[in-house]
Structure 1
Amino acid sequence: MNLEEMGSRALVASRVLASAGTAKKNMALEYIADALIESAGSILSANEEDVKAAKNAGTRASMIDRLTLTEERIKGIADGVRKVALLEDPVGKSDGGWQRPNGLKIQKVRVPLGVIGIIYEARPNVTVDAAALCLKSGNACLLRGGRDALRSNLELARIMRKAIAKAGLPEDCVQVLEDTSHETAQKMMKLNKYIDVLIPRGGRGLIRSVVENSTVPVIETGAGNCHVYVDESADIDMAVNIIFNAKTSRPSVCNAAETLLVHKNIAREFLPRAKEMLDKKHVELRGDELTREILGNSVVPATEEDWETEYNDYILAVKTVSSTDEAIAHINKYGTRHSEAIVTDSFANSQKFLREVDAAAVYVNASTRFTDGNEFGFGAEIGISTQKLHARGPMGLDELTTVKYQIIGSGQVR
């Protein structure tokens, strides 16, 4: 099936789904969750082929982790689908109503966006998360995953489409492109006739390509050059635990920390403690001159490129700063407006950081790893928006809708 036909089918499906009731959409989600568990064997078989091919291609370990599915991860994905079913349906929800002096009654209600296109890399869980959120919010979706996860994605789509049809909804609500070529991705970016919004999920290169080439409106997501700043008043034990979690709990994801900023007045006490903990996960440090003076030549000299790099790996850039102002300036220069954290016992510095750092999520005394739709209570997320229009931060159901004004009159003319 070519892309034009897929787009046409998605458009037809979206119109049916837009008027489907909450009960039917929830039924489809429950069927999907059940089917994922029941079909775990076929999913794992497809995924095993993807993982084997990726390893043979020399894909690095952190990216293999993003690609790999296990029975436990499939169960977690299915649980995420059930959680979406339990969330409030945003479609038809009122954003307010009022009456004009001429008697017109105006109501502002949430409606689906229509057809959502998503271009993403080797994370098969995104296939299910995206489909579940789009379905619950009344949107059809066209999914173009990475080549590395194609077998996994196609098997997941086959299972979900069957479950959706079982619930009495059009299976074309969810479609996965079999052609993962650059040319097809470029065509998808120009499919304004059918796609209402395009969401890229992946590294900075992918996101930049979509933003620069798409004629379909884009919600920019994902690139995460995230920082943890350890203030001079920080509790050292807390700071060590936070940077260890933010860097090593899952380094391949967009909310992992990539740069550690440390106030010079606490650097000699904090940095050796932090390195001792990070060494447990064999984290490579790339530091400025003072960091190398304190920690020795095992620290690689940092370059300008390190301050702006999203490693997605066990690598951490380290820079010492002389003030909170300098830390904020560094973050606002090199960050990707994703997630930033300060560890401090100073109320004044915490408030300054919250106020002046330009990011979707700003933390005081907590790990950046919490920037996640599920952790924020939204259920699964479609992505983390790093722009300011029309959504910012973890994008849940409400962010997948727009508004419609419904006006009731009694014969008024202008």
Structure 2
Amino acid sequence: MTEQAIQAKKASRVLAALSTEVKNEALIHVADQLEAKYEAILKANEADLQKGREKGYDDAYMDRLSLSKNRVFSFAGGLRKVAGLPDPVGEVSSSWTLENGLDVEAVRVPLGVIGMIYEARPNVTVDAAGLALKSGNAVVLKGGSSALSSNKAIVNVIHEALDETAIPKEAVQFIESTDRSAVNELLTMKEHIDVIIPRGGGSLIKTVVENATVPVLETGVGNCHLYIDAEADVEKALAILVNAKTDRPAVCNALETAIIHQDWLNEHKDALIETLLTHNIAVHGDDTAVKTIPHAIPATEEDWANEYLSLDLAVKVVSGLDDAIDHINEYGTNHSEAIVTENKQTARTFMTQVDAAALYHNASTRFTDGEALGFGAEIGISTQKLHARGPVGLPSLTTIKYIMSGDGQVR
């Protein structure tokens, strides 16, 4: 692992000097090769899926682990989108001249070497590699053991493709060890790794944050809420609820808790009940919700904090906006929160007082995604407040270098 990290560091210096055109050509070539060799990737993925079935992984986990031709072509397409995005490297974010004539520029430069620790999702291997390379960074990938065969097959394709470009294949390192000590070793490689990005469940993120000596760009789990206000349009509210809950229940931007104004519920309970039953949404509700929704079961304290990643939904009934905001700020994970209302002032108050990386007015939380928001792809959704927040795309994978130019000035 140490040798891999050293190789990545050397490769990062080569990468930092490459032009945007060279990097783009390499990414497009990698995308072409992923599509051309998708059958080998799917064969490796089937081996992982079979092991998952034998171990009894739940449906949400198997969904995150599973690849198909469409999913392979989708993440290959994501690479092409990344290639088409503006390159942040070399961008002058600000400049000024001091009174003594010294010119100052703040220029975007790569972070260096990114350590990526993630679970289940093989698509992250491609997204992380593509975003890292475009932003001039090398990447050391540590995927979960459940996706080992899939990840190895994907990295093999990436390496073979990079061998035919100006980007050294050593810029993408993959750690095959499934030993837990490998993660701990990666977390303490301050000499070779510039930042660690964890992507996965709460326990993984907690382990990384608590044990890393390398700086961490923290991504988070998604206990996402939808507040249906008294002045919410019923068609918009139900359509957003269904999309946010059922489109892909196993992802971090899926809805986990619906908070409903009592007045809206009283008026539209029949439509809500029919919608929930039609889409097989299981309800864990507070006392009012249980009395109103026939198939609801009583919610526990755990339900309000739970990231179900399934068709389960916690439902809380409130008397007003303040109660909804208080509940979200107590149980939310600072990921994605939404409000449905036709009252613009209510929406503004919600946006101002709710603490989250992404906020929505009359739209689904499912848009908290790098591709959906125009990033091409993302390494994860940052729920912290320093350096980067929200989808971690190209600009978030760079830092600032100050460049000064003078004519003999001394202090």
Q: Distance in 1 between matches of 2:337 and 2:177?
A: 37
Give the counterpart of 1:129 among 127, 145, 151.
Answer: 127
Aligned twin of 1:73:
71
Residues 1:125 and 1:271: Cα distance change in structure 2 (over 3 Å): farther
Structure 2 counterpart of 1:189, from 187, 190, 196 = 187
In structure 2, the gaps of 5 or more residues are none
Counterparts of 1:135-154 in structure 2, within 5 Å, are 135-154=133-152
Q: How far apart, CA to CA, are the structure 2 residues paired with 1:157 and 1:271?
A: 51
Aligned to 2:230: 232
Match of 2:357 among 337, 360, 364: 360
Whole-Å separation in 2 of the counterparts to 1:64 and 1:130 = 21
Give, in whole Å, the separation in 2 of the partners of 1:17 and 1:165. Answer: 14
C-alpha distance in 2 between matches for 1:352 and 1:47: 46
User: Could you tell me which amino acid in structure 2 is paired with residue 410 of structure 1?
Assistant: D
Q: Which one of the candidate residues 300, 303, 306 is aligned to 1:306?
A: 303
Correspondence for 2:196 among 195, 198, 201: 198
- Deviations 1:212-251 (Å, cap 9, x if unpaired)? 1111111111310000000011111111110110011001
- Residue correspondence of structure 1 range 14-413 to structure 2 within 5 A: 14-296=12-294, 298-413=295-410
Secondary structure of residue in 1 paired with 2:176: coil
Give me the CA root mean square deviation.
1.0
2:4 corresponds to: 6
Alpha-carbon distance in structure 1 between the residues aligned to 2:363 and 2:88:
30
Structure 1 CA distance, aligned partners of 2:189 and 2:269? 51
Q: How far apart are residue 180 of structure 1 and its match?
A: 2.6
Alpha-carbon offset, residue 203 of structure 1: 1.2
Distance in 1, matches of 2:148 and 2:246, equals 27
Q: Determine helix, strand or coil for the equivalent of 1:229.
A: strand
Q: Is the 8 A contact 2:340 2:361 kept in 1?
A: yes
Q: Distance in 2 between matches of 1:392 and 1:288?
A: 32
Q: What is the distance in 2 between the residues matched to 1:275 and 1:52?
A: 38
| Ranges in structure 1 where 5+ consecutive residues have no aligned partner | none
Aligned length: 411
The aligned amino acid for 2:118 is Y
For residues 31 and 154 of structure 1, the distance between their equivalents in structure 2, rounded to whole angstroms, comes to 19
Q: CA deviation at 1:270?
A: 3.3
Letter of the 2:231 partner, please give it: S
Q: Is the 2:131–2:378 contact (alpha carbons within 8 Å) kept by the matching residues of 1?
A: yes
Distance 1:148 1:273 in 2: 41
Post-superposition offset of 1:312: 1.0
How far apart are 1:98 and its partner, in Å?
A: 1.1
TM-score, structure 1 normalization: 0.98
- Alpha-carbon deviation of 1:281? 3.5
Structure 1 consecutive aligned stretches of length 4 or more whose deviation exceeds 6 Å: none
Distance 1:321 1:330 in 2: 9
Q: 2:242, 2:279 within 8 Å by CA — same for their partners in 1?
A: no
User: For the residues of structure 2 that align with 1:226 and 1:94, how far apart are their CA atoms?
Assistant: 36
How many Å separate the matches in 2 of 1:34 and 1:348?
A: 49
Deviation string, structure 1 residues 343-383 (Cα, Å, up to 9, x no partner): 01111111100111000111100000001111111110111
Tell me how far apart the structure 2 counterparts of residues 22 and 198 of structure 1 sit (CA, whole Å): 25
- Which one-letter code corresponds to 1:336 in the other structure? T
One-letter identity of the residue aligned with 2:265: A
Q: 1:275 to 1:164 in 2, by over 3 A?
A: farther
In the alignment, the residues of structure 1 paired with residue 382 and residue 268 of structure 2 have an alpha-carbon distance, to the nearest angstrom, of 33
Percent identity between the two aligned chains: 51
Counterparts of 1:22 and 1:110 in 2: how far apart (Å)?
14
2:28–2:83 CA contact under 8 A, matched in 1: yes
Letter in 1 for 2:210: E
1:26 partner SS: helix
Give the whole-Å Cα distance in 2 for the aligned partners of 1:274 and 1:131: 43
3-state DSSP class of the match of 1:345?
coil
CA positional deviation for 1:211: 0.8
